[in-house]
Chain A
Amino acid sequence: MFKEIISETKITPNFLNSILTNRSLYDMFKDDFENNTEYFQGISKEEYLSEMLKFIETLLFSSNIFHIYGEPEDIQESTKGKLEYIKRFYDDFLLEAFKEDPENILKTKIFKGFEFAKRKDIYASKTKEFETIYDYIFNVSIDYFGIVEVLTKDPIANILKGETLSIKEFDIICNYVKNNVEGHIEMDLVTAMLHNHAYKSNHIFDREVTETLVFSTIQSYLEEFGLTVSLEFHNGLDSKKESEHSFEPNIIRIDYALLDGFISLNYVELFEQAFFEAEMIKIHGLLERNECDYNTLKVLMNLIITKVDLNRLFVEEDYAPAEFLLDLRSSNFIKTLRFFSMFGVNLCDGYINSKTPSTDLFEPELVHSQKEISIDQRFEQIFMRHPNKTELVKKYSVLKLFFDQSGVRKQTLELIKGLKNEEHRNVIIEYLHSRIIDPQTMIDDVAKISNYRAKDEYIKVFISQEIKYIYVDTFYYSLDSYIKLYKSRLDIDEFLDDLLLKINCIKDTPLTHRFIDEAIFTIADMKQN
């Protein structure tokens, strides 16, 4: 829009402030610049305009545009007229630039700055002065949102369709990404741009676009858990050291080196680090809130399985539990690869091919990883013997829901009866739908539930409709992971025969039919293989 000064500016902020706020100096600048070039140090008017715009934008993002320190007596009186110079500059120079080329609206941060000030400034939105100029800029002088909609409609539609963009369209989208008033963009545009970055080599991202894409991604993810985050980039952060993780609430700091790496087509590291940091924020946030929801339960289960001392995590700066961090980093890497595959960038095969160790392989003993075994079963195995299980149940409300005071898991029927109360209904149902428990417990549950005569209408309907989802569909996974967990201690054939016996003892009701048929088929299949 205005010509930028490339090297370090010689115009001091004080001078810019004077030109903007001193009426006669401003008029001289505006109407008689050519006759005063010496006074203006030989720097072009265009360059001044660029710096003045930047000055105003910086002020808007300062969170204290009125420079008020301490409690003002009369906020309206003390701020009256204080932003007049911004309106003047806007009317005299910016509106001209916008009329000349509406795309200039997307090139400036002034609108984003006003929105930021409205939401985050200490006093702005409480003052008539700010409200008036805000309304003027967005609605009266131009129809800001209407124009942005028109400018971006086709380019965004084209990129979402996967079409090749012209340079002009690409520039419009990049400017929109950098300067739109929300500060972030929707995930469909994020993924379209990332796909574009991977496959269309003539469109280059700059740092700012990439920052917004990363921030939009992380914010979208953490929003799922009701968490907000801010993102900062710095030079020279040692982002690989776990102990560098910040304990400040919900700020992610990433090294610029990762950002530059991404622009040079090293896709993974930047997002890997961003997701890792987001995951730590999520875990911290959920533990702090200590709510009775399924996400908190899963986080707790994983922390306990990976032997984290919950009294030390996020409390001691130096506490870096190795197994937990190892699992988190490895799982997080998978998450990053999955994220990229969501929009057609498949990095799995390439990674395997690049890392496969030497070719002389032999057949070692089969050792099974934790990830193949149901987290519920793994958790139960460990939690049963956990030295602090009663304290954990006392401390975390979601554990209280599913375990009794002595840390023993509540019976399924007890949980189903608890559905009578609406308060925890959703989390109990989510838990029942998602967990995978050991096969003996499943058989006992089905027997008890089919013998239970529910009086409450909701529970009656629940039992008749949900048995399939709770048990029938998961019997295979339950059995498979249970066998993997205890393989070294079980005689598999004996175990399967024992299960068949128990299944045949279940009272034959319509409720159990489905379960019995599925279970017998699964066991027969396993015995053959």
Chain B
Amino acid sequence: MEEKKNKFPWDTLETVSLMLPVELLIYHIYRYELNKRARPKLAESDLQILKTYLNQYEKESSVRECLKK
């Protein structure tokens, strides 16, 4: 059977094992937003995690900005 040309690389969209830092940040923002609506008490700890990542992400971004200049 002819192999499908341009097979879409679905395995690269796998998020179970690995996420990039920016994706991790978005993952936590999204969780926080969902929990805020459904389970507000749990959202508190999500916010802690989120602030950590936001901090790290901002630091990384500002470092990247400095390196660009």
Contacts and interface: CB of A to CB of B under 8 A. Distances in A.
Nearest to A160: B6
B26 A351 contact: yes
Nearest to A225: B10
Interface in A173-198: 186-188, 191
A351 B55 contact: no
Interface in B6-44: 6-17, 19, 22-31, 33-35, 38-39
Nearest to B15: A331
A334 B28 contact: no
Contacts of B22: 348-349, 352
Contacts of B54: 356-357, 361
A335 B11 CA distance: 11
Consensus secondary structure, chain B interface? helix
Contacts of A301: 16
Contacts of A262: none
Interface stretch (A124-132, A163-171, A363-371, A387-395): A363-371
Contacts of A104: none
A334 B27 contact: yes
B29 A352 contact: yes
A357 B55 CA distance: 11
B8 A187 contact: yes
Contact of A333 (B12, B16, B27, B39): B27
Contacts of B31: 326-327, 330
A369 B18 CA distance: 12
Which label, helix, strand, loop or mixed, suits the secondary structure of the A interface? helix
A365 B8 CA distance: 41
B38 A367 contact: no
Contacts of A413: none
B52 A367 contact: yes
Contact of B24 (A327, A335, A338, A372): A372
Given A322-B39, A355-B29, A374-B17, A329 B34 contact: yes
B13 A339 contact: yes
Interface of B: 4, 6-17, 19, 22-31, 33-35, 38-39, 45, 47-52, 54-55, 57-58
A432 to B, nearest CB: 15
Interface residues of A, number: 44
B30 A330 contact: yes
Given A221-B10, A334-B15, A335-B15, A371 B29 contact: no
Contacts of A333: 26-27, 30
Given A188-B6, A372-B24, 20 more contacts: A186-B4, A191-B8, A224-B10, A298-B17, A301-B16, A331-B15, A334-B26, A337-B23, A342-B9, A352-B26, A355-B33, A356-B29, A357-B51, A362-B51, A364-B48, A364-B52, A367-B48, A369-B49, A371-B24, A375-B16
Contacts of A364: 48, 51-52
A334 B48 CA distance: 20
A278 to B, nearest CB: 11
- Select the residue from B12, B15, B38, B48 with max chain A CB neighbours within 10 A: B15
Question: Which 6 A-B residue pairings sit nearest by Cβ, starting from the closest?
Answer: A187-B8, A331-B15, A188-B6, A330-B30, A330-B31, A334-B15
Contacts of A351: 26, 29
A369 B28 contact: yes
A437 to B, nearest CB: 13
Contacts of B33: 355
Contacts of B6: 186-188
Most chain A beta carbons < 10 A, residue from B17, B28, B52 = B17
A329 to B, nearest CB: 6
Contacts of A329: 30, 34
A220 interface: yes
Contacts of A338: 12-13, 15, 23
Contacts of B35: 326
A242 B11 CA distance: 26
A363 B48 CA distance: 9
Q: Which of B23, B55, B57, B58 has the most CB of A within 10 A?
A: B23
